[in-house]
Amino acid sequence: MCRALYVLCLLFLLVACGSDDSSYTDIEDENRVLDFPQPDFFPSPTYDLEANPPTEKGFELGKKLFYDGRLSSTGVISCGFCHIQEFSFTHHTHIVSHGVNGALGTRNAQPLMNLAYMEDFSWDGSAAHLDAFPIIPITTDVEMNESVGNVIEKLKADEDYQSLFAAAFENENIDADNMFKALSQFLIMMVSADTKYDKVMQGNAVFSEEEASGKAVFEAKCASCHSGILFTDQSYRNNGLPINPEYNDIGRERVTGESDDRYKFKVPTLRNIALTYPYMHDGRFQTLSEVLNHYDSGMDHTENLDPIFINDNEIGIPLSDTEKSQLLAFLQSLTDDNFILDQRFSEF
């Protein structure tokens, strides 16, 4: 009885107030949910779009945060400082990342694209979720050298941010949760899937002979790790890089504590690979030719070298000069010019 009465009253309440509040729907519409640009030939996103749906205002806020130096202790190092759009959000002039006061990191900034499809983040998988990833660069002393708490205080004191957070989030709070959600909304919208390779796969373009031969070499010799439409199986492997004693970076072991993970790093995506030099976790190779030479003849048999590189007591992937130039041609077809020119992601 009580329940029925309750429902009736509730219904009446809803009906009674409907006609008075003509502005109600306008407020709803103000912060439009953005269409996630899912290419139909991509897998489903790993990112939970329902838990944090990208909205117009959230994206705008995320973009402002991404390009704001106040996320660092010195006020000048923004995310966009090391992740530059025209290089598919990497950094060229530095081998490893540069932080506040010219501090040097130990790893090469990774490209930012198709993050909605990744299982975990950074070269060693140390961030299990995109919403937690920014903690690493913000708090690392050789990067932004700031505290998340301090960033929040700076944002709270800023009138622009007060209105941007209020517009982007229902609870209107300027807090870490909303800051990271806004950054993720900006980042997951960066889908790059408009390369010549994609056009060929859709039947809208044709590979040159060189590119087609390169694709065949790629499929025979590279695609077991750089697999699928994202060109990575997202695993961690040791690809036989000689150990750089300056860093002695143990890779994924730092995250898992497992000695089996020593010297293993995430297999990177190859999308936009022509734009994202230098290469490898420590940026040791400047060109793709150097990378191919490494696989052909430059490997060291270090601890946990991936068995895929060991055949008949020989290590590496033998590549002829012809195969190398064919591969280079094919890798060029993975560049998405529209992505790096996309105004939605540009600082200015």
Partner 1 sequence: MRILAFLSLILVLTSCDDDDAYLVELNLNFEHHVDNEVLVFNEINYENNSDEFYSISELKYIISNIQLQNKNGNWFSYPVEDSYFLINAGVEESLIVNLSGIPNGNYQNIRFGFGVDQSNYPLNGVNNFVPTAEENDMLWSWSAGYIFLKFEGEYQLVDPIAPENFLYHVGSHGQNLDNYRTVELAVDLDLNADTQLDISADVSKIFDATHQMSLQQKSDIQIDPENAPKIADNVVEMFQIQMN
The residue ranges that bind partner 1 (CB under 8 A) are: 2-3, 5-6, 9-10, 12-13, 16-17, 19-20, 48, 51, 119-120, 124-129, 131-133, 135-136, 139-140, 147-149, 152, 175-177, 180, 254-258
Closest separation in Å from C-beta 216 to partner 1: 35
Closest distance of CB 217 from partner 1, Å: 34
Please give the DSSP secondary-structure letter assigned to residue 123. T
Evaluate the omega torsion of the peptide bond into residue 278 and state whether it is cis, within 30 degrees of 0.
Answer: yes
CB closer to partner 1, 3 vs 159: 3
Measured from the CB atom, the residue of 124 and 323 that comes closer to partner 1 is 124
Q: How far is the CB of 135 from partner 1 (least distance, A)?
A: 4
Select 153 or 219, whichever has its Cβ closest to partner 1: 153
Residue type, 338: N
> Tokens for 100?
């506040």
Residue 7 makes CB contacts below 8 A (sequence gap 6+) with: none
- Contact (Cβ atoms closer than 8 angstroms) between residue 210 and residue 286: no
Smallest gap from residue 190 Cβ to partner 1 (A): 20
Q: Identify the sign of the CA torsion 112, 113, 114, 116.
A: positive
Residue 280 CB partners (closer than 8 Å, separation 6+): 108, 241, 265, 291
For 215, phi and psi rounded to 5 degrees? -65, -40
Q: Where do we find the tokens 């949760």?
A: 177
* C-alpha span between 336 and 338 (Å, rounded): 6
Nearer of residues 138 and 328 to partner 1, judged by Cβ: 138
Inter-CA distances, 7 with 10, 11, 14, 21, Å: 5, 6, 11, 22
Question: Strand pairing partners for 142?
Answer: none
- Taking the complex as a whole, the smallest distance from the CB of residue 132 to partner 1 amounts, in Å, to 4
CB of 259 to partner 1, least distance (A): 9
In the complex, the smallest distance separating the C-beta of residue 61 from partner 1, rounded to whole angstroms, is 15
Backbone angles phi, psi at 75, to 5 degrees: 80, 5
Tokens in use for 185?
């909304």
Alpha-carbon distance of 164 to 1, in angstroms, equals 46
151 or 288: CB nearest partner 1: 151
- Nearest approach in angstroms of CB 121 to partner 1 is 8
Which CB atom, from 126 or from 162, has the smaller least distance to partner 1? 126
Q: Scanning the structure block, which residue is given the tokens 């796969």?
A: 201
Contact between 123 and 241 under an 8 Å Cβ cutoff? The reply is: no
CB closer to partner 1, 186 vs 295? 186
Nearer to partner 1, 211 or 249 (CB): 249
User: What is the closest distance, in whole angstroms, from the C-beta atom of residue 339 to partner 1 in the complex?
Assistant: 26
Buried b (16+ CB within 10 A) or exposed e, 194-214: bbbbbebeeeeeebeebbebb
Residues 278, 93: Cα–Cα separation, whole Å: 9
- Our CB check for partner 1 shows the closer of 115 and 255 to be 255
Q: Of 48 and 347, which has the nearer Cβ to partner 1? A: 48
**Nearest approach, Cβ of residue 133 and partner 1 (Å):** 6
